Amino acid sequence: MASRAGAAVLFLILGVAAAAAEAAQARTQPARTRDAAQRAVPTVRLIATGGTISNRAGGRLTADELVALVPGIERYARVEAEQFANTASSALTLRQWLDLARRINALFAEDADLSGIVVTSGTDTLEETAYFLNLTVRSDRPVVVVGSMRNPSTLGYEGAANLFDAFRVAAEPASRGKGVLVVLNDEINAAREVTKTDALRLHTFQTRGYGILGVADSDRVVFYRDVVRRHTHRSEFDVSSIDALPRVDVVLVYQGATGDVIKALVDQGARGIVIAAAGAGATSGTQGEGIRYALDKGVAVVTSTRTGAGRIAAKQAFRPQAAAADPGQSGPARGFRIDAEDLAPLKARILLMLALTRTADPAEIQRMFQEY
């Protein structure tokens, strides 16, 4: 009888212990599951530079505060945040562009598990920053530039939604190899092609003529086409040892424009001039004299179009003969003419700046305008 009672007690003890262990496992399992799920989602780094997206009344939002605006993003990405700058986009310097590109390249080099990077920017110069990164980031992993048209203190602030989409696009495997992307208003555009088309409206960033690359819809990220021009990991531009970019200015063509503006820019140290020409390349007033002056002084002159779309077909790059009116010049002029293909004037400036860090050969620079 005693042995049966002892066995019953032992069985009861073992049962209680088993139940306790099962309960403990049940309590810890959700945490383990969450940890495993968190490790499984892609890692995305946010680099905040400022802009309207962070420009809250009373003080700009930090990178960490921006991430806090996006609840539920942990389902798509594990976001790490860092503050690069916190200013208006128009206040970013060319030196900061160089530092930003170097920082992105360092992050990709140091962390093989980093799926992508999101960069916040003010919208006024967002397309310029994006295209510069498109030429200088040396990885095929996605870099997504994002901003907002309304600030965090404004009714209808769309910055959180744009950030949510940007993180998803940066974490999306299909984004790889497409160069730097611009994501606003649920749409994905290529950095090379996109431009700001409206001063106020949310749909301001568009790709005229070619259309969007894809969309970030509620169910998934969808791409409709690819990017065929050279960019990022296929770029020849290496900014790792560049201290400063050469000065390149943009000159607008308008009726009766004077060439002395071009001469003044040359005299102030411009190494390149981009002409935002009328139509397919026309200048006006005395701008032709200014261009000849620039060429005689060894300055590169690139012809683009101010129209917002269309192509200035690349001719054979050339160094024109020195102007006969300048008796102090002999032999071929040191400057040269380049055609910008379909690059907008602002982006032609960026490509020319980087091109001049590598070569002064006009044929080589014309090749770059055809390939990038």
Which residues are identified as catalytic? 52
- Measure the CA–CA gap between 51 and 118, rounded to whole angstroms: 14
- Strand order through the sheet with 272-277: 248-252, 272-277, 300-305, 336-339
AA identity, residue 49: T
AA identity, residue 372: Y
| CB neighbours of residue 307 within 10 Å | 13
Look up residue 348 and give its two tokens.
């032609």
- Measure the CA–CA gap between 102 and 240, rounded to whole angstroms: 6
| CB neighbours of residue 285 within 10 Å | 16
- The vertex-61 CA angle with 35 and 145, nearest 5°, equals 75
Of residues 199, 24, 16, 190, the one with CA closest to residue 123:
199
Cβ contacts of 133 within 8 Å, gap of 6 or more: 100, 101, 104, 119, 143, 145, 180, 191
Q: To the nearest 10°, the Cα dihedral for 295, 297, 301, 306?
A: -100
Query: With contact defined as beta carbons under 8 Å apart, do 227 and 190 qualify?
Result: yes
Entry field: residues in the chain: 372
| CB neighbours of residue 66 within 10 Å | 24
Residue showing tokens 């003010």: 122
Of residues 100, 90, 83, the one with CA closest to residue 137:
100
Query: With contact defined as beta carbons under 8 Å apart, do 225 and 279 qualify?
Result: no
Query: With contact defined as beta carbons under 8 Å apart, do 303 and 325 qualify?
Result: no
